[in-house]
Structures are given as structure tokens and as C-alpha cells.
């Protein structure tokens, strides 16, 4: 009886260790250093990371097709349901618009700020970029999907300028980087679940 309890305990410990190992082996990158040799973004000059005041880069490997990831990524009205960085539902100033697309603007509440980004680049299943313009902040946020043998890599760099950028660097130097990592991990989970069917 005692031997059975020990064996069951060891089995449970092995299962738990296996689950934790799988969680820890998620391949992701988080950095505030720009590497021009691996850059996949056509940055507007104003937001060139070598000149901008702030830069973050996040990347994750996803075992799902670019099409599945794209569908989740572009369904902006659901972002707030799985990503804590979006604090309320995304809305569109133009009531006839229901999804993201080229030149579409949308209202977003993130990190305590109310923003109205405009989509500047939109290549289905490949890339999307939006621009934010406020008196105290300008930003260029991009998404790139790179196919891999097992699915894709999802990359999201952001470059910023402005007074709020300075405040962020001083008082919350890692918040955006960590939030973007959470966003990528959330998309990864949803995409892989969807891919499994």
C-alpha cells in the first residue's frame, strides 16, 4: 500500500515536471536592443529604432499556421477578452468598420492611455503596422508573421517618441516589453488550440 502511494506520488511529480518543462520551453524573445541584421520591418524614418527614443522587440514561436494566427491577431474586438494590456473593447470611429484593414483607425485603451491608432501596413497573413499620434506620444507598432516548418514565428516590435516615452523609460522600463510577451503567449495559446481543432 505504502509503495503504491509512493509510486503514484512519483508519477504525479513526473507529470507536473513535464508540464512545467513544456511551459518553460516556449521559445520567445524579449529585448529592448535593436538588431538591424535581423530586422524585418520597413521603419518610417521617424521611427527608425536607431534614432527613436524607445524600442521593444518581442517574438514567439507558434505551432499554428500563419492564417490561424492572422485571424486571431486581426480580430481586434476580442483582444480585451484574452489580453490584459487592452483594458476595454476595441471600437471603430467609423461604425461601418468591424475589422482591421489598411487605413482603418480604431480606439484602444491600453496602459491607462486612450489611443486611436491607424493601420498603415496590412498584408494578410504576413504583416500589419499601425501608427499612433498624440501630442505626448508617437509610436509605430508592427506585427510580422514568418512561416516555419512547424507553424510560424510572430514578431511584434514597437518604436516610440514623445514625453510619455520618456516617462515610461523612467518609471515603467519593462512594462511594455512584458505586456507584449503576455500578448504573444496569449495568441500562441489560442492559435495552437484552434489549430488542434
Among 22-36, 102-116, 161-175, the minimum mean pLDDT is found in: 22-36
pTM: 0.85
Domains of the chain by residue range:
27-196
- Digit-coded pLDDT (tens) for 48-104: 999 999 999 999 999 999 999 999 999 999 999 999 999 999 999 999 999 999 999
pLDDT at 27: 86
> Would you say residue 143 has pLDDT above 90?
yes
- State the SS3 of the chain: CHHHHHHHHHHHHHHHHHHHHHHHCCCEEEECCCCHHHCCCCCCHHHCCCCCCEEEEEEEEECCCHHHHHHHHHCHHHHHHHCCCECCCCECCCCCCCCCCCCCECEEEECCEEECCEEEEEECCCEEEEEEEECCEEEEEEEEEEEECCEEEEEEEEEEECHHHHHHHHHCCCHHHHHHHHHHHHHHHHHHHHHHC
Cell triple for 192: 495552437
- Digit-coded pLDDT (tens) for 155-187: 999 999 999 988 888 898 999 999 999 999 999
The CATH number of 27-196 is 3.30.530.20
pLDDT at 170: 87
Which of 137, 148, 143 lies closest to 111 in space, CA to CA?
137
Amino acid at each position: 500500500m505504502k509503495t503504491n502511494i509512493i509510486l503514484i506520488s512519483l508519477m504525479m511529480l513526473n507529470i507536473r515536471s513535464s508540464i512545467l518543462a513544456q511551459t518553460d520551453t516556449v521559445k520567445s524573445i524579449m529585448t529592448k536592443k535593436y538588431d538591424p541584421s535581423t530586422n524585418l520591418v520597413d521603419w518610417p524614418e521617424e521611427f527608425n529604432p536607431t534614432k527613436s527614443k524607445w524600442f521593444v522587440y518581442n517574438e514567439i514561436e507558434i505551432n499554428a499556421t500563419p492564417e490561424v494566427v492572422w485571424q486571431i491577431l486581426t480580430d481586434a474586438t476580442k483582444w480585451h477578452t484574452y489580453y490584459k494590456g487592452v483594458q476595454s473593447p476595441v471600437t471603430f470611429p467609423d461604425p461601418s468598420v468591424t475589422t482591421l484593414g489598411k487605413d482603418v483607425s480604431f480606439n484602444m485603451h491600453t496602459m491607462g492611455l486612450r489611443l486611436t491608432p491607424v493601420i498603415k501596413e496590412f498584408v494578410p497573413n504576413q504583416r500589419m503596422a499601425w501608427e499612433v499620434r498624440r501630442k505626448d506620444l508617437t509610436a509605430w507598432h508592427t506585427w510580422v508573421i514568418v512561416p516555419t516548418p512547424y507553424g510560424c514565428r510572430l514578431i511584434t516590435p514597437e518604436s516610440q517618441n514623445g514625453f510619455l516615452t520618456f516617462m515610461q523609460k523612467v518609471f515603467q522600463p519593462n512594462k511594455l516589453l512584458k505586456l507584449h510577451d503576455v500578448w504573444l503567449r496569449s495568441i500562441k495559446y489560442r492559435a495552437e488550440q484552434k489549430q488542434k481543432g
